[in-house]
Amino acid sequence: MTKPTTISVLAETLRKQSSLSEKKIAKVVAAYKPFPTKHNQVLVRKGDIAKYLYFVEKGYLRVFVTDASGNQFTRFLIEGGMEGTAFPSFISQKISSASVQCVGKAEVLRISYDELQKLYQAVPEFERLYRKVIEMAYVSSIHRIETLISMNSRERYLQLLKEKPKWFQQLPANVIAEYLGITKETLSRLKSAK
């Protein structure tokens, strides 16, 4: 079990990204509960409803889908300081087509859908903040679509290497490959070709 040792990252992030008072930050932080996870633990299973939004204190979560042959494809990687879940399921509270899993060990906080609605009432400015979170996530997904439709695997690899060098140190290669939309063999060859 990896127990959260601290919940400071969320508070820090709120201070940086919003102008919420310390009191309100405390309210928000209190609404997110530390959730102990095991190595590679699955947080949302395909077919479940995503009931929680997860804030990553440390490590990574991956959101992935599987095809008929059981191949996995990583839709998103959520790194420390970011939050996410199987989003389409979370906002609609309907069955998820994707799964969410810890990559190795991760420390996360979570807030339920219902608690989040209550938080909007308690801290109205939080709703605007949430909108910003969505906007940012949307912008980064647009960026992702662009690279997927306009670049070949080598260009995507080099771009990610430039934008997220840490990922290559901290994440297993097959996860990176799934994220890039290529096989682990192709990624391995791109690395050695440099």
Partner DNA sequence: TGATTTTGTTGACATTTATCAACAGCTAAG
Partner DNA sequence: CTTAGCTGTTGATAAATGTCAACAAAATCA
Minimal distance, residue 2 CB to a second copy, in Å: 28
Instruction: Determine if 69 is a binding residue for a second copy (CB under 8 A).
Output: no
Query: CB burial class (10 A; 0-12, 13-18, 19+) of residue 62?
Result: buried
Nearer to a second copy, 1 or 142 (CB): 142
CA distance 166 to 171: 8
Task: Name which of DNA, a second copy, none residue 8 binds, using a CB cut-off of 5 to 8 Å depending on partner kind.
Answer: none
Minimal distance, residue 150 CB to DNA, in Å: 10
Query: CB burial class (10 A; 0-12, 13-18, 19+) of residue 140?
Result: exposed
Instruction: Determine if 122 is a binding residue for a second copy (CB under 8 A).
Output: no
Task: Name which of DNA, a second copy, none residue 167 binds, using a CB cut-off of 5 to 8 Å depending on partner kind.
Answer: none
Minimal distance, residue 1 CB to DNA, in Å: 11
Nearer to DNA, 50 or 175 (CB): 175
Task: Name which of DNA, a second copy, none residue 4 binds, using a CB cut-off of 5 to 8 Å depending on partner kind.
Answer: none
Instruction: Determine if 71 is a binding residue for a second copy (CB under 8 A).
Output: yes
Name the residues that contact DNA, by CB under 7 A. Answer: 39, 71, 104, 152-154, 172-174, 181-189, 191-192
Which residues ranging from 158 to 187 are in contact with a second copy (CB under 8 A)? 178-179, 181
Q: Which of 87, 96, 103, 110 binds a second copy (CB under 8 A)?
A: 87
Q: Point out which residues bind a second copy (CB under 8 A).
A: 65, 67, 71, 73-75, 87-88, 91-92, 97-98, 127-128, 130-131, 134-135, 137-139, 141-146, 148-151, 178-179, 181
